[in-house]
């Protein structure tokens, strides 16, 4: 049996930020959401080129059960069972993961059971994994990839239960401070791959966290299941719908209108300060370093503002729950066709690109070809 849980790295680095943080509000509960396969696979493929998808490990394993990840039958979840082998693949991310630091800890307890015969008692093994993720605007800085490729071999049945806990915490003696405690070029760090030692697992102390579960089973009679109830997965019976890529809309953001090259009314890129943004948007949910000279400050209204080394507003980014719009009507959930009608065609050759750039505004599309993020930047002079 071979199983893998890896992080697919985001090629995008939007922000950096300012010292001296105002008082923060209490952290919100962490939400989980699914990510379209197309987005996760783009980040797995060499050079982030979907044309090279077959070169990545997830696609190689999928081919063993006859799955072509270049054209999956479902946009959020891929799975197949063939010749005694079960394969599954999905990607997830966090939302509203705000705290005193810009990274999260995830620990996993894995229980594997194998039945040599249907009426035999199962053999059981338990292993533990601990990992850390950088965050950006409440989301992990990369899509968390989950895939398994399980073979029955001579067994009558196999089952794997995984118990996940992700949140703000420390690992005594390894990751104690508020700053990212590992190589700064990494956005993901495995403190311990699956091992029967639970020492590191037990040293994780969470201040706030979210739990979720994944159960996989397969049997000689051809039956199989992949269940993650917190993510809406109960394959093959029930597959997740597109709503699982979102979280509840942020009602406090509905009245917000963003002007390209400027930001929300009352703020101006290039001149507004943290104090200005706080006066308009309220106490920050999070204020964390983002590089050597700048900071990301996240507010209610599903907006995260980046301030440069001089303390001036540099960028405004919407988060997934954003329910406002731009002054020309662009909103989360709109199709490419609707954006093109409002703003004009993208540059030649970029029609299927994940991002469309307009003066003062970057429109980001997900793998469902709908708007999932807006980034307001300074207009080029």
pLDDT higher than 80, residue 173 = yes
Residue 102, number of CB atoms within 10 A of its CB? 26
**Least confident range of 141-145, 259-263, 312-316:** 141-145
Q: pLDDT by residue (tens digit) across 179-197? A: 899 999 999 999 999 999 9
Task: Categorize the per-residue pLDDT at 348 as very low, low, confident or very high, splitting at 50, 70 and 90.
Answer: confident
**CB–CB of 92/36 below 8 Å?**
no
Q: Output the CA torsion sign for 252, 299, 94, 318.
A: positive
- For residue 14, the model assigns a pLDDT of 42
pLDDT higher than 80, residue 250 = yes
pLDDT higher than 80, residue 24 = no
**CB–CB of 141/135 below 8 Å?**
yes
Supply the mean pLDDT for the chain.
Answer: 91
Taking the CA atoms of residue 41, residue 137, residue 192 and residue 163 in that order, the dihedral angle to the nearest 10 degrees is -80
Residue 99: both structure tokens together: 């705290």
The percent of residues above 90 in pLDDT, for the chain, comes to 81
**Both ends of the chain: CA-CA distance in Å?**
57
- 3-state DSSP assignment of residue 203: coil
**Mean pLDDT of all residues in 57-74:** 92
Task: Categorize the per-residue pLDDT at 381 as very low, low, confident or very high, splitting at 50, 70 and 90.
Answer: low
**CB–CB of 43/143 below 8 Å?**
yes
Residue 54, number of CB atoms within 10 A of its CB? 14
Distance CA 352, CA 354 (A): 6
Strands 325-326 and 257-259: parallel
The percent of residues above 70 in pLDDT, for the chain, comes to 92
Instruction: Give the residue ranges of DSSP H helices in the chain.
Output: 37-44, 57-63, 199-202, 274-281, 336-343
Distance CA 294, CA 12 (A): 17
Residue 47: both structure tokens together: 């050079």
**Mean pLDDT of all residues in 202-218:** 97
- For residue 5, the model assigns a pLDDT of 42
pTM recorded for the entire structure: 0.89
- For residue 2, the model assigns a pLDDT of 32
Q: pLDDT by residue (tens digit) across 290-301? A: 878 899 999 999
Which domains, ranges and CATH numbers included, belong to the chain?
A: 37-74+77-240 (no CATH), 251-376 (3.40.33.10)
**Mean pLDDT of all residues in 319-327:** 97
**Mean pLDDT of all residues in 62-83:** 94
**Mean pLDDT of all residues in 17-39:** 69
**Mean pLDDT of all residues in 301-327:** 97
277: nearest Cα among 355, 376, 139:
376
């Amino acid at each position: 049996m071979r199983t893998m849980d890896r992080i697919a790295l985001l090629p995008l680095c939007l922000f950096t930020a300012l010292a001296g943080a105002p008082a923060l509000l209490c952290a919100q509960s962490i939400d989980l959401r699914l990510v379209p396969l197309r987005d996760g696979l783009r980040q797995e493929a060499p050079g982030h080129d979907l044309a090279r998808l077959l070169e990545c490990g997830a696609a190689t394993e999928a081919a063993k059960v006859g799955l072509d990840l270049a054209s999956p039958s479902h946009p959020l979840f891929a799975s197949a069972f063939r010749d005694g082998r079960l394969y599954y693949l999905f990607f997830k991310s966090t939302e509203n993961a705000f705290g005193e630091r810009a990274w999260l800890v995830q620990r996993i307890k894995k229980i594997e059971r194998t039945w040599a015969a249907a009426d035999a008692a199962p053999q059981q093994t338990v292993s533990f994994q601990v990992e850390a993720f950088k965050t950006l605007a409440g989301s992990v800085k990369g899509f968390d990839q989950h895939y398994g490729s399980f073979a029955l071999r001579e067994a009558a049945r196999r089952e794997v239960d995984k118990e996940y806990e992700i949140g703000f915490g420390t690992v005594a003696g390894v990751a104690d401070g508020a700053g990212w405690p590992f190589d700064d070029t990494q956005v993901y760090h495995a403190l311990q791959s699956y091992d029967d030692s639970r020492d590191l697992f037990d040293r994780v102390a969470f201040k706030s966290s979210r739990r979720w579960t994944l159960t996989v089973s397969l049997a000689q009679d051809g039956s199989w299941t992949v269940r993650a109830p917190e993510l809406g997965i109960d394959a093959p019976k029930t597959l997740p719908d597109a709503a699982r890529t979102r979280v509840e809309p942020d009602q406090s953001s509905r009245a917000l209108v963003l002007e390209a090259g400027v930001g929300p009314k009352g703020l101006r890129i290039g001149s507004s300060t943290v104090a200005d943004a706080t006066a308009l948007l309220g106490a920050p949910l999070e204020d964390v370093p983002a590089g050597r000279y700048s900071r990301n400050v996240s507010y209610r209204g599903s907006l995260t503002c980046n301030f440069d080394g001089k303390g001036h507003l540099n960028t405004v980014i919407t988060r997934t729950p954003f329910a406002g719009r731009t002054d020309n009507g662009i909103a989360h959930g709109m199709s490419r066709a609707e954006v093109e009608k409002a703003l004009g065609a993208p540059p030649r050759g970029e029609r299927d690109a994940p991002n469309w750039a307009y003066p003062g505004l970057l429109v980001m599309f997900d793998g469902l070809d709908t708007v999932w993020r807006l980034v307001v930047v300074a207009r080029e002079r």
